[in-house]
Amino acid sequence: MSALDLMGYRRAHGGAGARNHVLVLPSVVCSTRVAEQVAGDEAVSVTHQHGCGQVGDDVKNSSRLFVGMATNPNVAGVVVVGLGCETIGGPGLAEEIARAHQHVAFVGIQACGGSAATVAAGTAEREALVEAARRLERQPVAASALRVGLDDPSAPFATSLAAALEEAGASLVLPGSSQRGELAHAELAAAGVTVIVAWCGPGVGPRSFPVVPVLSVSGDPVLAAALGEDFDDMVEPGDTAAAGARLAAAAAACFSGKACAAERRGAAEFTLPRLARSM
């Protein structure tokens, strides 16, 4: 694969993004509905079951992944929405994000006096961040900005994809834990990947993620035929060598603005692994 001509969004805190999202991040499950309302149609929000009733390493893990996702190069700014009595406190989460030199604002439901007032305050913060993001334009960026996360190291094209990316000056990032599939996506986003390749083996449907475009690669001809355009590619036995170069090129095109199948259908699934049971 030849050198890449990438177009991305340069970030003041370093690196460059494939997307220019404003993220509305609920620090706790209790604020997810308000966060959705704050995001509206102009920002990205996530729904999750975390932030309260967690203990020990589970709290640290969720906080780490929240901060990592919020500071991913694909994110231009963040509004943290808290409740006021959660385990993962909204103000502390916003401070950690700010320390990474990310544009961030915080609104709290209890501090604002209720949900409606929080939506109003959060919407104002979101509008300011969206306006700032709109002033950014894609610019030529180095090939190293293309950091592709592969959610399953056992994918049959893993070796050829890594080689194709390396040849082009880009890189492949694998999950640092035993998590695979959608459970690995938040970890990969926190590691700073700008595009994710999802290996969807036999019986596995296409995947997605809120702030990082996901190229879903099917290994099931029957399912791929049934779902058609919901997958970005299909790899059969004997196709693994060619697939690496093909997927590297697809990732580069996606980085520079081409929508993946998940983006075209508006899918943005978010899952965090739990290390311990909730209280």
**Average of pLDDT values for 95-122?**
97
The count of other CB atoms within 10 Å of the CB of residue 23 is: 29
Interatomic CA distance for residues 99 and 119, integer angstroms: 25
Residues 6+ apart with CB under 8 A from 254: 18, 195, 213, 215, 260
Distance of CA 54 to the CA centre of its chain: 23
pLDDT of res. 94: 97
Is residue 88 over pLDDT 70? yes
Domains contained in the chain, CATH given = 21-134 (3.40.50), 141-264 (3.40.50.2300)
**Average of pLDDT values for 101-106?**
97
pLDDT of res. 224: 95
Structural tokens at position 151:
């959610």
12 pLDDT tier (thresholds 50, 70, 90): confident
pLDDT of res. 2: 53
Distance of CA 43 to the CA centre of its chain: 13
**Average of pLDDT values for 36-57?**
89
pLDDT of res. 241: 86
pLDDT of res. 278: 52
Q: Per residue in 230-266, pLDDT tens?
A: 999 999 888 888 999 999 999 999 999 999 999 999 9
Q: Per residue in 121-179, pLDDT tens?
A: 999 999 999 999 999 999 999 999 999 999 999 999 999 999 999 999 999 999 988 89
Closest CA to 184 of 70, 146, 215, 176: 176
Task: Indicate the pTM of the whole model.
Answer: 0.95
Is residue 279 over pLDDT 70? no
Closest CA to 70 of 172, 170, 176, 211: 211
Unique residue bearing structure tokens 């939506």? 119
